Structure 1
């Protein structure tokens, strides 16, 4: 990928998920709130959220918000 700001923001969000700051099934901050915190625009946060949604890390629901997806442990025995 590139060094685009939205990619950097996606990495920040993903690291917060990994560290447990954003727990599975928890609601993420709105685009505007996160944009203010990270000193960027809501459109840039939206791009980062879209990138993470494409990776299956989060999912958005119109009118309800954006939530952290549970990680499946693909390496576990069935």
Structure 2
């Protein structure tokens, strides 16, 4: 599902502003960091692949930029944003 298709209150950014970051699931946190998907994949699909590949947020900081870039929809900038956010 695309963020634009969600009810406004359920969108990660709005939910975080209203209830705090702790109210977000790991999927929503990664989607918030990524900011957007692309024409082929929603931000939630990409975020889901990130979590599968990293085996969860706790292991994300152990990943390498090149490994993240293997995920469809992740290029250098998004990979660096993810790693910087968990550093």
**More helix as a share of residues:** 2
Bin the TM-score by the shorter chain: 0.3 to 0.5
Give the structure, 1 or 2, with the largest relative contact order (CA under 8 Å, sep 6 or more): 1
TM-score (norm 1): 0.34
- Report which of the two has the higher share of strand: 1
**Structure 2 length as normaliser, TM-score?**
0.32
